[in-house]
Amino acid sequence: GAGYASEALKSLLADMFSRRGLHRVVAVTVADNSASRALLTRLGFRLEAHYASAFYDYRAERWVDSVGYALLASEWGAN
């Protein structure tokens, strides 16, 4: 809640798009992780996929869904 993840991800994206010249970045997170999903949305990522029962959570002892987000270099530059 202190903004550390946001600042870290902004720096990482700037490096990926500017210095490394990537065209597209994809992020996948657990569907129930509202904080991660909100962060990705705030930074301009768009939701592209919902994967049902994507992996097994051994701590919760159940299958969980995940979601995929993506951001293009041209979209990052527009931010």
| pLDDT tens for each residue of 29-38 | 999 999 999 9
pLDDT tens track for 37-60: 999 999 999 999 999 999 999 999
pTM of the model: 0.88
Query: Which residue is associated with the tokens 């997170």?
Result: 29
The topology (CATH level 3) of 4-78 is Aminopeptidase (3.40.630)
> How far apart, in Å, do the first and last CA atoms of the chain sit?
22
Domain ranges of the chain: 4-78
How far apart are alpha carbons 9 and 46 in whole angstroms? Answer: 15
